[in-house]
Amino acid sequence: METTEVDVAVIGAGPAGSRLARRTADGGRRVLLLEKRSRVGYPVRCAEAVGPRSEVERYLDLDDSIVCSPIDGVLIVAPNGRTLRSRTPGVGLVVDRERFDLRLAEHAVAAGVELRTGHQAMRLLVEKGRVAGLVVRDLGAGRDYEVRARVTAGADGVEALSPQWAKLKGPFRPEEVFSCAQELVEGIDVGERMIEFHLGREIAPGGYAWVFPKGDRLANVGVGIDPLLAGGQTAASFLEVFLSRRCPDAARMRRIVGGCAVARGLSSLATDGYLVVGEAGHQNNPFSGGGIVNALEGADMAADAILAAGPGAATAKALAGYTRRWKRTVGASNERFWLAARIFYALDDDEADAIIGRVASFPGVFHRGGVRPALMVAAIVIARPALLARLARLCRRRPRR
Protein backbone atom coordinates (compact mmCIF):
# COMPACT_ATOMS: atom_id res chain seq x y z
CA MET A 1 0.00 0.00 0.00
CA GLU A 2 1.27 3.49 -0.87
CA THR A 3 2.54 5.42 2.15
CA THR A 4 2.79 9.14 2.97
CA GLU A 5 4.99 10.21 5.90
CA VAL A 6 4.35 13.43 7.83
CA ASP A 7 4.82 14.81 11.32
CA VAL A 8 1.15 15.69 11.85
CA ALA A 9 -1.92 14.28 10.09
CA VAL A 10 -5.16 16.22 10.69
CA ILE A 11 -8.57 14.67 9.98
CA GLY A 12 -11.08 17.36 8.99
CA ALA A 13 -10.64 20.85 7.49
CA GLY A 14 -13.19 22.65 9.65
CA PRO A 15 -12.11 25.54 11.92
CA ALA A 16 -10.35 23.27 14.45
CA GLY A 17 -8.52 21.20 11.86
CA SER A 18 -7.34 24.08 9.69
CA ARG A 19 -6.20 26.14 12.67
CA LEU A 20 -4.32 23.22 14.21
CA ALA A 21 -2.70 22.43 10.87
CA ARG A 22 -1.58 26.03 10.37
CA ARG A 23 -0.17 26.38 13.88
CA THR A 24 1.86 23.18 13.70
CA ALA A 25 3.13 24.05 10.21
CA ASP A 26 4.20 27.45 11.51
CA GLY A 27 6.15 25.49 14.14
CA GLY A 28 8.14 23.70 11.45
CA ARG A 29 6.19 20.45 11.21
CA ARG A 30 5.28 18.67 7.97
CA VAL A 31 1.46 18.64 8.06
CA LEU A 32 -1.18 16.85 5.99
CA LEU A 33 -4.79 18.11 6.26
CA LEU A 34 -7.46 15.66 5.10
CA GLU A 35 -11.03 16.65 4.20
CA LYS A 36 -13.56 14.06 3.05
CA ARG A 37 -15.70 16.61 1.19
CA SER A 38 -14.65 17.82 -2.22
CA ARG A 39 -14.96 21.48 -1.10
CA VAL A 40 -13.83 22.94 2.21
CA GLY A 41 -16.76 24.43 4.12
CA TYR A 42 -19.43 23.10 1.76
CA PRO A 43 -22.18 22.19 2.34
CA VAL A 44 -22.61 24.47 5.37
CA ARG A 45 -24.06 22.74 8.43
CA CYS A 46 -24.14 25.57 10.93
CA ALA A 47 -26.32 28.45 12.13
CA GLU A 48 -23.23 30.66 11.53
CA ALA A 49 -23.31 32.76 14.73
CA VAL A 50 -20.06 33.52 16.56
CA GLY A 51 -19.05 35.69 19.51
CA PRO A 52 -17.72 39.26 19.52
CA ARG A 53 -15.56 40.36 16.59
CA SER A 54 -12.52 40.95 18.82
CA GLU A 55 -12.72 37.36 20.05
CA VAL A 56 -12.88 35.89 16.54
CA GLU A 57 -10.12 38.13 15.22
CA ARG A 58 -7.67 36.56 17.66
CA TYR A 59 -7.61 33.78 15.06
CA LEU A 60 -8.71 35.24 11.73
CA ASP A 61 -8.95 38.75 10.28
CA LEU A 62 -12.53 39.38 9.18
CA ASP A 63 -13.76 41.41 6.23
CA ASP A 64 -17.11 42.14 4.60
CA SER A 65 -16.94 39.00 2.48
CA ILE A 66 -17.07 36.89 5.67
CA VAL A 67 -19.22 38.99 8.05
CA CYS A 68 -22.91 38.89 7.12
CA SER A 69 -24.36 40.81 10.06
CA PRO A 70 -23.39 42.22 13.44
CA ILE A 71 -25.50 41.07 16.39
CA ASP A 72 -26.65 43.70 18.87
CA GLY A 73 -28.41 41.65 21.50
CA VAL A 74 -30.45 38.62 22.51
CA LEU A 75 -34.21 38.21 22.44
CA ILE A 76 -35.73 35.31 24.38
CA VAL A 77 -39.32 34.23 23.82
CA ALA A 78 -40.68 32.14 26.71
CA PRO A 79 -43.20 29.31 26.18
CA ASN A 80 -46.04 31.64 27.29
CA GLY A 81 -45.01 34.21 24.67
CA ARG A 82 -43.40 36.63 27.08
CA THR A 83 -40.49 38.40 25.41
CA LEU A 84 -37.25 39.37 27.14
CA ARG A 85 -34.60 41.57 25.55
CA SER A 86 -30.93 42.00 26.43
CA ARG A 87 -29.55 44.71 24.16
CA THR A 88 -25.74 44.48 23.90
CA PRO A 89 -24.29 46.07 20.73
CA GLY A 90 -21.41 44.03 19.30
CA VAL A 91 -22.18 40.88 21.30
CA GLY A 92 -21.59 38.74 18.22
CA LEU A 93 -21.61 38.22 14.47
CA VAL A 94 -23.27 36.02 11.90
CA VAL A 95 -20.68 34.94 9.36
CA ASP A 96 -20.59 33.25 5.97
CA ARG A 97 -19.41 29.92 7.28
CA GLU A 98 -18.29 28.55 3.91
CA ARG A 99 -15.98 31.52 3.33
CA PHE A 100 -14.90 31.46 6.98
CA ASP A 101 -13.76 27.83 6.76
CA LEU A 102 -12.17 28.35 3.36
CA ARG A 103 -10.14 31.33 4.61
CA LEU A 104 -8.80 29.29 7.53
CA ALA A 105 -7.81 26.47 5.18
CA GLU A 106 -6.12 28.95 2.82
CA HIS A 107 -4.04 30.25 5.72
CA ALA A 108 -3.03 26.69 6.56
CA VAL A 109 -1.93 26.02 2.98
CA ALA A 110 -0.01 29.31 2.91
CA ALA A 111 1.86 28.11 6.01
CA GLY A 112 2.99 24.99 4.13
CA VAL A 113 0.20 22.52 4.94
CA GLU A 114 -0.70 19.98 2.23
CA LEU A 115 -4.50 19.93 1.88
CA ARG A 116 -6.19 16.91 0.30
CA THR A 117 -9.95 17.24 -0.28
CA GLY A 118 -12.04 14.19 -1.17
CA HIS A 119 -9.84 12.06 1.11
CA GLN A 120 -11.58 10.22 3.94
CA ALA A 121 -10.07 8.67 7.08
CA MET A 122 -10.96 4.97 7.21
CA ARG A 123 -9.19 3.75 10.36
CA LEU A 124 -6.24 4.48 12.61
CA LEU A 125 -2.96 2.59 12.41
CA VAL A 126 -2.16 1.28 15.90
CA GLU A 127 1.30 -0.21 16.54
CA LYS A 128 2.55 -1.38 19.94
CA GLY A 129 -0.38 0.36 21.61
CA ARG A 130 0.13 3.78 20.04
CA VAL A 131 -1.48 5.54 17.09
CA ALA A 132 1.05 5.63 14.26
CA GLY A 133 -1.10 7.26 11.57
CA LEU A 134 -4.16 6.25 9.61
CA VAL A 135 -5.54 4.62 6.50
CA VAL A 136 -7.08 7.10 4.06
CA ARG A 137 -9.36 6.55 1.07
CA ASP A 138 -8.95 8.76 -1.98
CA LEU A 139 -12.65 9.02 -2.84
CA GLY A 140 -11.96 10.20 -6.37
CA ALA A 141 -9.54 7.43 -7.29
CA GLY A 142 -11.22 4.80 -5.13
CA ARG A 143 -7.96 3.61 -3.54
CA ASP A 144 -6.67 3.37 0.01
CA TYR A 145 -3.25 4.46 1.24
CA GLU A 146 -1.41 4.81 4.55
CA VAL A 147 -0.40 8.04 6.25
CA ARG A 148 2.29 7.53 8.90
CA ALA A 149 2.40 10.39 11.39
CA ARG A 150 4.02 11.19 14.73
CA VAL A 151 0.72 12.73 15.78
CA THR A 152 -2.75 12.19 14.30
CA ALA A 153 -5.33 14.84 15.19
CA GLY A 154 -9.05 14.10 15.01
CA ALA A 155 -10.99 17.22 14.00
CA ASP A 156 -13.73 15.30 12.28
CA GLY A 157 -16.72 17.09 13.82
CA VAL A 158 -19.99 15.78 15.19
CA GLU A 159 -19.81 12.72 12.93
CA ALA A 160 -16.32 11.87 14.23
CA LEU A 161 -15.22 8.27 14.38
CA SER A 162 -11.51 8.81 15.03
CA PRO A 163 -11.89 9.48 18.82
CA GLN A 164 -13.81 6.20 19.06
CA TRP A 165 -11.09 4.38 17.14
CA ALA A 166 -8.57 5.88 19.61
CA LYS A 167 -10.76 4.68 22.53
CA LEU A 168 -11.18 8.17 23.95
CA LYS A 169 -14.96 7.97 23.81
CA GLY A 170 -17.91 5.79 22.86
CA PRO A 171 -20.83 6.59 20.56
CA PHE A 172 -23.07 9.51 21.50
CA ARG A 173 -26.04 8.70 23.72
CA PRO A 174 -29.37 9.91 22.25
CA GLU A 175 -29.68 12.81 24.70
CA GLU A 176 -26.20 14.05 23.75
CA VAL A 177 -27.12 15.16 20.22
CA PHE A 178 -29.66 17.80 19.23
CA SER A 179 -31.55 16.93 16.08
CA CYS A 180 -31.53 20.11 13.97
CA ALA A 181 -33.17 21.58 10.88
CA GLN A 182 -32.61 25.05 9.47
CA GLU A 183 -33.88 27.16 6.58
CA LEU A 184 -32.21 30.25 5.12
CA VAL A 185 -35.12 32.62 4.51
CA GLU A 186 -35.54 35.98 2.78
CA GLY A 187 -38.23 38.52 3.60
CA ILE A 188 -38.15 38.23 7.40
CA ASP A 189 -38.19 41.21 9.77
CA VAL A 190 -34.87 41.27 11.68
CA GLY A 191 -34.69 45.03 12.11
CA GLU A 192 -33.11 45.06 15.59
CA ARG A 193 -30.29 42.67 14.58
CA MET A 194 -30.86 40.56 17.69
CA ILE A 195 -30.50 36.79 17.79
CA GLU A 196 -33.75 35.19 18.86
CA PHE A 197 -34.23 32.10 21.01
CA HIS A 198 -37.78 30.66 21.17
CA LEU A 199 -38.49 28.14 23.93
CA GLY A 200 -41.22 25.66 24.73
CA ARG A 201 -42.17 22.02 24.25
CA GLU A 202 -44.48 22.94 21.34
CA ILE A 203 -41.75 24.90 19.58
CA ALA A 204 -38.64 22.82 20.31
CA PRO A 205 -38.89 20.05 22.96
CA GLY A 206 -35.68 19.85 24.97
CA GLY A 207 -34.02 22.58 22.90
CA TYR A 208 -34.84 25.87 21.19
CA ALA A 209 -35.74 27.51 17.91
CA TRP A 210 -33.58 30.34 16.60
CA VAL A 211 -33.57 33.31 14.25
CA PHE A 212 -30.06 34.53 13.40
CA PRO A 213 -30.03 37.67 11.19
CA LYS A 214 -27.84 37.29 8.14
CA GLY A 215 -28.42 40.62 6.42
CA ASP A 216 -31.25 42.83 5.20
CA ARG A 217 -34.45 40.78 5.71
CA LEU A 218 -32.36 37.61 5.57
CA ALA A 219 -31.89 35.08 8.40
CA ASN A 220 -31.08 31.52 9.36
CA VAL A 221 -34.21 30.12 11.01
CA GLY A 222 -33.85 26.77 12.71
CA VAL A 223 -34.90 24.31 15.38
CA GLY A 224 -32.82 22.01 17.60
CA ILE A 225 -34.66 19.38 19.63
CA ASP A 226 -34.01 16.48 22.00
CA PRO A 227 -35.32 13.52 19.96
CA LEU A 228 -36.27 11.70 23.17
CA LEU A 229 -38.83 14.40 23.98
CA ALA A 230 -40.20 14.87 20.46
CA GLY A 231 -42.92 12.21 20.46
CA GLY A 232 -41.63 10.67 17.26
CA GLN A 233 -41.67 13.94 15.31
CA THR A 234 -38.62 15.19 13.46
CA ALA A 235 -36.78 18.49 13.74
CA ALA A 236 -37.97 19.27 10.21
CA SER A 237 -41.61 18.98 11.27
CA PHE A 238 -41.06 21.36 14.21
CA LEU A 239 -39.27 23.74 11.85
CA GLU A 240 -42.31 23.83 9.56
CA VAL A 241 -44.53 24.90 12.46
CA PHE A 242 -42.03 27.52 13.61
CA LEU A 243 -41.60 29.00 10.13
CA SER A 244 -45.37 29.27 9.73
CA ARG A 245 -45.54 31.25 13.00
CA ARG A 246 -42.44 33.43 12.77
CA CYS A 247 -42.18 34.26 9.08
CA PRO A 248 -45.06 32.72 7.09
CA ASP A 249 -44.50 34.91 4.02
CA ALA A 250 -40.71 34.62 3.81
CA ALA A 251 -39.10 32.94 0.81
CA ARG A 252 -37.23 29.73 1.57
CA MET A 253 -33.78 29.52 0.01
CA ARG A 254 -31.75 26.65 1.50
CA ARG A 255 -32.56 23.89 4.00
CA ILE A 256 -30.03 21.89 5.99
CA VAL A 257 -30.58 19.13 8.53
CA GLY A 258 -28.19 17.38 10.86
CA GLY A 259 -27.06 16.93 14.44
CA CYS A 260 -25.23 19.02 17.00
CA ALA A 261 -23.35 17.62 19.99
CA VAL A 262 -24.54 18.89 23.39
CA ALA A 263 -22.46 16.45 25.40
CA ARG A 264 -20.33 16.71 28.52
CA GLY A 265 -16.58 17.09 28.10
CA LEU A 266 -14.36 14.05 27.65
CA SER A 267 -12.21 12.83 30.53
CA SER A 268 -9.15 12.83 28.24
CA LEU A 269 -8.44 14.50 24.88
CA ALA A 270 -5.24 12.62 23.99
CA THR A 271 -3.56 9.25 23.94
CA ASP A 272 -0.27 7.93 22.53
CA GLY A 273 0.15 9.50 19.09
CA TYR A 274 -3.37 10.94 18.88
CA LEU A 275 -5.45 13.87 20.13
CA VAL A 276 -8.95 15.15 19.41
CA VAL A 277 -10.14 18.73 18.99
CA GLY A 278 -13.32 20.70 18.26
CA GLU A 279 -16.81 19.19 18.25
CA ALA A 280 -15.23 15.76 17.80
CA GLY A 281 -13.81 16.25 21.31
CA HIS A 282 -17.05 17.66 22.82
CA GLN A 283 -15.50 21.13 22.93
CA ASN A 284 -18.52 23.07 21.67
CA ASN A 285 -20.86 24.75 24.15
CA PRO A 286 -23.24 22.05 25.48
CA PHE A 287 -25.95 24.63 26.26
CA SER A 288 -26.17 26.45 22.92
CA GLY A 289 -24.39 23.99 20.63
CA GLY A 290 -22.19 26.81 19.31
CA GLY A 291 -18.52 26.05 19.04
CA ILE A 292 -16.53 27.89 16.37
CA VAL A 293 -14.40 29.97 18.76
CA ASN A 294 -14.13 27.05 21.18
CA ALA A 295 -12.77 24.95 18.33
CA LEU A 296 -10.17 27.58 17.48
CA GLU A 297 -9.10 27.87 21.13
CA GLY A 298 -8.87 24.09 21.45
CA ALA A 299 -6.83 23.92 18.24
CA ASP A 300 -4.28 26.38 19.59
CA MET A 301 -3.94 24.43 22.83
CA ALA A 302 -3.56 21.16 20.90
CA ALA A 303 -0.96 22.70 18.58
CA ASP A 304 1.02 24.01 21.56
CA ALA A 305 1.06 20.51 23.06
CA ILE A 306 2.21 18.92 19.79
CA LEU A 307 5.02 21.44 19.37
CA ALA A 308 6.06 21.10 23.02
CA ALA A 309 6.24 17.30 22.62
CA GLY A 310 9.15 17.75 20.23
CA PRO A 311 9.87 16.16 16.85
CA GLY A 312 9.73 12.54 18.06
CA ALA A 313 6.75 10.30 18.71
CA ALA A 314 4.23 12.11 20.91
CA THR A 315 3.35 10.03 23.95
CA ALA A 316 0.14 10.30 25.96
CA LYS A 317 2.20 11.81 28.78
CA ALA A 318 3.66 14.46 26.48
CA LEU A 319 0.19 15.42 25.20
CA ALA A 320 -1.57 15.29 28.59
CA GLY A 321 -0.92 18.98 29.19
CA TYR A 322 -3.44 19.72 26.44
CA THR A 323 -6.26 18.03 28.40
CA ARG A 324 -5.23 19.76 31.63
CA ARG A 325 -5.08 23.20 29.99
CA TRP A 326 -8.48 22.73 28.32
CA LYS A 327 -10.13 21.60 31.56
CA ARG A 328 -8.72 24.57 33.48
CA THR A 329 -10.08 27.10 30.97
CA VAL A 330 -12.83 26.61 28.37
CA GLY A 331 -13.56 23.09 29.59
CA ALA A 332 -14.40 24.41 33.07
CA SER A 333 -16.85 26.88 31.55
CA ASN A 334 -18.34 24.12 29.39
CA GLU A 335 -18.86 21.95 32.46
CA ARG A 336 -21.01 24.70 33.99
CA PHE A 337 -22.91 25.14 30.70
CA TRP A 338 -23.54 21.36 30.69
CA LEU A 339 -25.02 21.54 34.19
CA ALA A 340 -27.22 24.46 33.16
CA ALA A 341 -28.38 22.61 30.03
CA ARG A 342 -29.25 19.38 31.87
CA ILE A 343 -31.40 21.34 34.32
CA PHE A 344 -32.90 23.94 31.99
CA TYR A 345 -33.90 21.76 29.05
CA ALA A 346 -35.60 19.25 31.37
CA LEU A 347 -38.05 21.91 32.62
CA ASP A 348 -41.68 21.76 31.57
CA ASP A 349 -43.20 24.90 30.06
CA ASP A 350 -44.70 26.19 33.33
CA GLU A 351 -41.34 25.86 35.09
CA ALA A 352 -39.55 27.52 32.18
CA ASP A 353 -42.03 30.43 32.18
CA ALA A 354 -41.37 30.96 35.87
CA ILE A 355 -37.59 30.77 35.58
CA ILE A 356 -36.72 32.55 32.32
CA GLY A 357 -37.56 36.02 33.64
CA ARG A 358 -35.44 35.47 36.73
CA VAL A 359 -32.50 34.22 34.68
CA ALA A 360 -32.70 37.06 32.15
CA SER A 361 -32.83 39.71 34.90
CA PHE A 362 -30.20 38.11 37.16
CA PRO A 363 -27.27 40.55 37.42
CA GLY A 364 -24.33 39.61 35.25
CA VAL A 365 -25.78 36.57 33.43
CA PHE A 366 -25.64 38.39 30.09
CA HIS A 367 -22.59 40.47 29.25
CA ARG A 368 -20.72 41.71 26.20
CA GLY A 369 -18.94 38.37 25.76
CA GLY A 370 -22.14 36.30 25.98
CA VAL A 371 -23.45 34.34 28.98
CA ARG A 372 -21.75 33.55 32.28
CA PRO A 373 -22.70 29.90 32.93
CA ALA A 374 -22.06 29.88 36.68
CA LEU A 375 -24.43 32.81 37.16
CA MET A 376 -26.99 31.13 34.92
CA VAL A 377 -26.91 28.00 37.08
CA ALA A 378 -27.17 30.14 40.21
CA ALA A 379 -30.15 32.05 38.80
CA ILE A 380 -31.98 28.83 37.88
CA VAL A 381 -31.48 27.27 41.31
CA ILE A 382 -32.42 30.46 43.17
CA ALA A 383 -35.59 30.69 41.09
CA ARG A 384 -36.45 27.04 41.85
CA PRO A 385 -34.59 25.80 44.99
CA ALA A 386 -36.13 22.34 44.47
CA LEU A 387 -33.74 21.94 41.52
CA LEU A 388 -30.76 21.95 43.89
CA ALA A 389 -31.07 18.19 44.43
CA ARG A 390 -30.99 17.61 40.65
CA LEU A 391 -27.92 19.81 40.40
CA ALA A 392 -26.19 17.84 43.16
CA ARG A 393 -26.88 14.54 41.37
CA LEU A 394 -25.45 15.91 38.12
CA CYS A 395 -22.31 17.16 39.90
CA ARG A 396 -21.64 13.66 41.22
CA ARG A 397 -21.65 12.09 37.73
CA ARG A 398 -18.29 11.04 36.35
CA PRO A 399 -16.95 12.93 33.30
CA ARG A 400 -17.90 11.47 29.91
CA ARG A 401 -15.67 8.96 28.20
> Position 304: which residue type?
D
Give the tens place of pLDDT for each residue, 205-228.
Answer: 999 999 999 988 999 999 999 999
Does 383 score more than 80 pLDDT?
Answer: no
pLDDT(398) > 80: no
Q: Which amino acid is at 345?
A: Y
Report pTM. 0.92
For 340-369, b where at least 16 C-beta lie within 10 A, e where not — what string? bbbbbbebebebbbebbeebbebeebbeee
Per-residue confidence (pLDDT) for residue 393, from 0 to 100:
74
Element (H, E) at 320: helix 316-328
Cis status of the peptide bond prior to 43, with omega within 30 of 0? yes
Tens digit of each residue's pLDDT (9 = 90 or more) over 224-266: 999 999 999 999 999 999 999 999 999 999 999 999 999 999 9
